[in-house]
Amino acid sequence: MTGWAGTGRWPRPARSHRTSSPPAVAAIPATPGNGWSSRRPPACWAWSAGVPDLHRHLDRPGAVIADLGCGEGWSTIAPARAYPGAALHGVDPDVPSTTAAAAHTADAGLGERITFTTGDAALSLPPATFDAVFAFECLHDLPHPVEFLDAARRALRPDGVVVVMDEAAGD
Ligand SMILES: C[S@@+](CC[C@H](N)C(=O)[O-])C[C@H]1O[C@@H](n2cnc3c(N)ncnc32)[C@H](O)[C@@H]1O
């Protein structure tokens, strides 16, 4: 569950068909109550099909996605259900949260496609690894949002996307 960095568990940036276009940063306002962080089913991810550039990344067979600030894993489990060809990796510094996230993932039968690491995402992300990096409902709380977003961007493969959703956008 923990310790991707240094244990060889990080996914490898293996594919060679990537373009060299700069990564996009998508800022999509969250809809209160849309439920991706709850136990609700992945219908809450229907919105992503309406964002073609994002859907294209998530729907790739073998897509590798990071969920920064994953909490207890609901924001990781929902997109894993919505995109069955993807592998997801949750990161959170809170041990009880990642412990619960691993348990919820096992209960959901998704242990083959979801892993978690306990740590500060700003310090623990491998470079050039992910097709998409999510930050759901966590940016507003961070003491170092710039470093966090910089790490998220560096963790992308060349044409990857960072997706930030936060109901507390005013913060
Ligand atoms: C409000 S919760 C959101 C959880 C989940 N993304 C969701 O939508 O259900 C914010 C999470 O961000 C985590 N967090 C705080 N600082 C972090 C950091 N430096 N790196 C990664 N996660 C962090 C917290 O531990 C907390 O679990």
Range of the domain at 61: 24-165
Which tens digit of pLDDT belongs to each residue from 101-134?
Answer: 999 999 999 999 999 999 999 998 999 999 999 9
Nearest-CA residue for ligand 1 atom 10 is: 138
Residue tagged 């940063």 (tokens): 25
Question: Into how many domains does the chain fold?
Answer: 1
Least confidently predicted of 44-58, 86-100, 113-127:
44-58
Q: Which helix (H) or strand (E) holds 64?
A: strand 64-68
| Residue 13 is assigned to a structural domain of this protein | no
| Residue 19 is assigned to a structural domain of this protein | no
Specify whether the CB–CB gap between 74 and 110 falls below 8 A: no
Nearest-CA residue for ligand 1 atom 22 is: 69
| Residue 37 is assigned to a structural domain of this protein | yes
Nearest-CA residue for ligand 1 atom 23 is: 69
Residue tagged 């109550």 (tokens): 33
Q: The CATH number of the domain where 52 resides is what?
A: 3.40.50.150
The pTM assigned to this predicted structure is 0.81
| Residue 139 is assigned to a structural domain of this protein | yes
Q: At 99, which amino acid appears?
A: T
Specify burial of residue 34 (Cβ count, 10 A radius: 0-12, 13-18, 19+).
Answer: middle
| Residue 66 is assigned to a structural domain of this protein | yes
CA 20 to ligand 1 centroid distance, Å: 30
Give the atom of ligand 1 at the shortest distance from the alpha carbon of 91: 21
| Residue 71 is assigned to a structural domain of this protein | yes
Q: With pLDDT > 90 as the criterion, what percentage of the chain qualifies? A: 60
**Cα 8 to Cα 92: distance, rounded to the nearest angstrom:** 18
| Residue 28 is assigned to a structural domain of this protein | yes
Ligand 1 near 167 CB (within 6 A):
no
Residues 13-17, mean pLDDT to the nearest whole number: 40
| Residue 1 is assigned to a structural domain of this protein | no
Pairing of strands 156-165, 87-92: unpaired
Q: Which band of pLDDT confidence, cut at 50, 70 and 90, is reported for residue 51? A: confident
